[in-house]
Structure 1
Amino acid sequence: MLMKVLKRLAQGDRYSNKIMARELGVDEGMVEQMLMQLERKGYIEKEDMVSCSGSCDCGNATKKSGCCSSKSDIIIWKITTKGNEAILKMAK
């Protein structure tokens, strides 16, 4: 199941844990646990971003640090070299 999650992340499409849970037939908590396992194993790494809604006129749609109270946290998962190698092995 972990490799299914890794393969799904490798597709590069946007998704939510809710959507992935539905696709895999599990609950959202299980998806979160699998993502953490993939991170611990070194297959993926997390890049935290903060997205500004633009209501504060900061002039920047995506910022590393918050600029206003109307921001939402976004997590971007990046596949590591180890993760890409695992995906290639699955394809064989």
Structure 2
Amino acid sequence: MQSLAIEFKSAGHRWGFPRNIVDVPFFVDSQATRLIQYADLVSYALWRKFEQGDSEFFEAISSSFDSDGGAVHGLHHLKGRSEACDCPACANRLL
């Protein structure tokens, strides 16, 4: 994972080069730090929303994603063009 992160930082992506990568991937038991536990909870909420169709936990965090001028940043998921979605990221792209 660390070599992939280094390659991503140096080679960039289709929108250019990342400017604000804080660190390389870090693997730790989620009981060791609360920040990892928060990341686990956010991941679980996103998984429940997009894979299981249950938005209960997602609704609690949906307003916390970075946004600017009504555009939500950092929240993306893969779906077919014909699939309807009411998440902030998709609703934002319909404008």
**TM-score, with structure 1 as normaliser:** 0.26
Which structure has more relative contact order (CA 8 Å, sep 6+)? It is 1
TM-score, length of structure 2 as denominator length: 0.26
